[in-house]
Amino acid sequence: MHTVLITGGTGMVGTSLTQLLLSKGYQVIVLTRQPRVSNVPNLTYAVWDIDKGYIDPSAIHNADTIVHLAGAGVADKRWSKKRKQEIVDSRVLSGALLVKYLTENSHQVKTVVAASAIGWYGPDTAQSLINGFVETDPVDGAYLGATCKSWEESVKPIEALGIRLVTLRIGIVLNKKGGALAEFIKPAQFGMATIFGNGKQMVSWIHHHDLCKMMIHGIETALLKGYIMRFLLIQ
């Protein structure tokens, strides 16, 4: 049975991905900061501690694929200097920890599917509004672009280990149960609607079910590697 190890597996996207993987017959291991006991067939939990540089070695040893989703929510709190550093560190340090364990421990991992974001590209330009962005476009120099660059670089050494690396640059993930959509809906309860900026710019988004299917496509398609950008646009 193919075993998928998920970081960030208790979050909104990770939970959806776990359910879909289990429905397709995969074994799933979810890394968590606190010990948990599962009563769901084919689902187990393993402990990791990014601050202490620890991952349960058996989790790495038993995995065939790793899906790396860990990272503090970008929109969850105000961007104080401390919070911005937390957003970066939660992604970069966790990626570096995976690389360390894959380098130093025996394992059978063949594929890593890693999350990144379309913050890489920055705001729309006159050219992008005509032709869109592509995966080879340079990184934007602002905070989100720099964060994505560090995020992706933290897992890049995985390729040198002979492991297939698929990096997904993801737009805003929509799910009625949480995330950005839940925040968008809140004002509507008071008869108000919110917009971004002047309301005329594009908003890049993807439904969480479609994102999970993309990740499974990344797991199952052996010829797929590198950077993948997919989202829907609403104007």
Per-residue model confidence as pLDDT tens for the chain (235 residues) = 899 999 999 998 999 999 999 999 999 999 999 989 999 999 999 999 999 999 999 999 999 999 999 999 887 888 899 999 999 999 999 999 999 999 999 999 999 999 999 999 988 888 887 888 888 889 999 999 999 999 999 999 999 999 999 999 998 888 777 666 666 777 777 777 766 666 666 778 888 899 999 999 999 999 999 877 654 444 3
- Does the residue 224 lie in any domain? yes
Tell me if 227 is assigned to some domain.
Answer: yes
The reported pLDDT for the residue numbered 188 is 74
What is the CATH classification number for the domain harbouring 127? 3.40.50.720
Q: Which pLDDT does position 230 carry in this prediction?
A: 54
pLDDT on residue 233: 41
Domain that holds residue 227: 3-170+207-234
Pairing of strands 232-234, 65-68: unpaired
Q: What is the pLDDT of residue 234?
A: 40
Q: How far is CA 184 from CA 44, 60, 67, 123, in A?
A: 34, 38, 28, 20
189 assigned to some structural domain: no
> Do residues 229 and 135 lie in contact, with contact meaning Cβ atoms separated by under 8 Å?
yes
Hey, which residues does 184 pair with through a beta bridge?
none
Count of the separate structural domains present in the chain: 1
